[in-house]
């Protein structure tokens, strides 16, 4: 089902409206009579949750870009052995997202040994972060049942991402939602920009990368509302850096399309974002690589 650019703008405007009001918690009253009742406020909160789920999962991003031809590159993913390096909770959440993207990437190319390694890394970080044991148990059981079916693994990894998000949302852990999604999105960008050694304006992967701006911008607006703790300030700066990198890309007058494919994957296309030169692409690639390596290799203060 196609959704027009105007719908996207309305949804984003609601998110921005909520963020503005959320920053003034001492002022209980509003001049907008449309949201004066508690029922209206509840409806708005429900709408904002629905906006969040417009975000594609890491599996959806990679599978969509794969339509124009990804290849498997060994040693490109973040080593599952590094899971013990992540000590602080924000490091764990970010790299849980990274590992979810790596799991999807390996599943896409039928790398079953690597899939098992990333499942173990995800399980360890999930345990340490006290995520729902039910979610983890069901994931592992489903993977074992369908270990030879890549299509099933793709579906399961996609479901797992949203199950984790649901669990966190239900427990009012929106800042953790933001961190996991940031790690996943940055890793997806890293995995795809490194598919391109030499820029070409006709390279479809390059333009698919640019189109991810819209999903990341919604995440950025969401993070502005929910990341407020001082210890998460540097994590927020990473999100802002990625968003700023996208906004440095060239713009064209083109309608944004948000669609669902035949298996209900969310696809965001168009929207007038392009990478118009080799210099622009290399600058973007360098920024994404730096941010990704900050998340996966350095101890964040």
In a structure prediction context, what are the per-residue pLDDT tens digits for the chain, which is 301 residues long?
Answer: 333 333 333 334 434 344 443 444 444 333 333 334 444 444 434 444 444 445 678 888 888 888 888 899 989 999 999 999 999 999 999 999 999 999 999 988 888 889 889 988 998 998 999 886 565 666 667 766 766 666 776 777 788 888 888 888 888 888 888 899 999 999 999 999 999 988 888 888 988 888 888 888 888 888 888 776 666 777 888 889 999 999 888 765 445 455 554 444 444 444 455 777 889 999 999 999 999 999 997 544 4
Predicted pLDDT of residue 150: 65
Let me know whether 151 and 192 are in one domain.
yes
Let me know whether 254 and 235 are in one domain.
yes
Distance (Å, whole) CA 250 – CA 239: 20
Let me know whether 167 and 197 are in one domain.
yes
8 Å CB contact between 244 and 252: no
Let me know whether 168 and 34 are in one domain.
no
Let me know whether 19 and 151 are in one domain.
no
Domain count, the chain: 2
Let me know whether 91 and 155 are in one domain.
yes
Let me know whether 98 and 135 are in one domain.
yes
| Residue-number span of the structural domain to which 40 is assigned | 1-52
What per-residue string of b and e applies to 5-43 under the rule 16 or more CB within 10 Å gives b? beebeebbeebeebbebeeeeeeeeeeeeebeeeeeeee
Predicted pLDDT of residue 13: 40
DSSP states of the chain:
--B-HHHHHHHHHHHHHHHHHHT-TT----S-GGG-SHHHHHHHHHHHHHHHTTSPPHHHHHHHHHTT-----TT-SPPGGGGGG--SHHHHHHHHHHHHHHHHHHHHTT-HHHHHHHHHHHHHHHHHTT--HHHHHHHHHHHHHTTT-HHHHHHHHHHHHHHHHHHHHHTT-HHHHHHHHHHHHHHHHHHHHTT-SS--TT-HHHHHHHTTHHHHHHHHHHHHHH---GGGHHHHHHHHHHHHHHHTSEE----EEEEE-TT--EEEEESSEE--SHHHHHHHHHHHHHHHHHHHHS---
> Considering only CA atoms, which of 127, 135, 115 is closest in space to residue 84?
127
Model confidence, pTM: 0.74
**Residues 6 or more apart whose Cβ sits within 8 Å of residue 235:** 90, 94, 179, 182, 227, 300
Let me know whether 172 and 224 are in one domain.
yes
Let me know whether 60 and 159 are in one domain.
yes
Let me know whether 43 and 71 are in one domain.
no
- Other C-beta atoms lying within 10 Å of the C-beta of residue 176: 25
Predicted pLDDT of residue 298: 53
Backbone angles phi, psi at 71, to 5 degrees: -125, 160
Let me know whether 82 and 24 are in one domain.
no
Let me know whether 41 and 58 are in one domain.
no
């Amino acid at each position: 089902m196609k959704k027009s650019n105007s719908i996207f703008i309305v949804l984003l405007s609601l998110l921005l409206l909520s963020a503005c009001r959320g920053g003034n918690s001492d002022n209980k009253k509003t001049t907008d009579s449309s949201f004066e009742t508690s029922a209206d406020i509840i409806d708005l909160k429900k709408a904002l949750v629905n906006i969040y789920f417009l975000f594609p999962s890491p599996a959806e991003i990679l599978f969509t870009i794969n339509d124009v031809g990804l290849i498997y590159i060994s040693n490109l993913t973040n080593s599952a052995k590094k899971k013990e390096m992540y000590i602080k909770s924000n490091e764990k959440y970010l790299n849980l997202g990274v590992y979810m993207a790596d799991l999807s990437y390996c599943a896409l190319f039928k790398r079953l040994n690597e899939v098992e390694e990333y499942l173990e890394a995800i399980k360890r970080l999930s345990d340490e972060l006290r995520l729902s044991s039910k979610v983890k148990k069901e994931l592992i059981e489903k993977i074992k049942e369908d270990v030879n079916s890549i299509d099933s693994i793709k579906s399961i990894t996609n479901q797992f991402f949203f199950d984790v998000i649901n669990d966190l949302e239900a427990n009012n852990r929106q800042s953790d939602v933001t961190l996991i999604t940031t790690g996943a999105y940055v890793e997806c960008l890293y995995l795809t920009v490194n598919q391109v050694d030499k820029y070409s304006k006709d390279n479809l992967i390059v333009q698919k990368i640019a189109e991810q701006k819209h999903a990341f911008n919604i995440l950025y607006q969401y993070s502005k509302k929910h990341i407020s703790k001082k210890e998460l300030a540097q994590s927020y700066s990473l999100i802002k850096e990625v968003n700023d990198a996208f906004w440095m890309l060239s713009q064209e007058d083109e309608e944004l399309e948000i669609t669902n494919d035949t298996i209900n994957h969310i696809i965001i296309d168009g929207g007038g974002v392009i990478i118009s030169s080799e210099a622009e692409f290399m600058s973007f690639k360098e920024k994404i690589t730096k941010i990704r390596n900050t998340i996966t290799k350095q101890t964040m203060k």
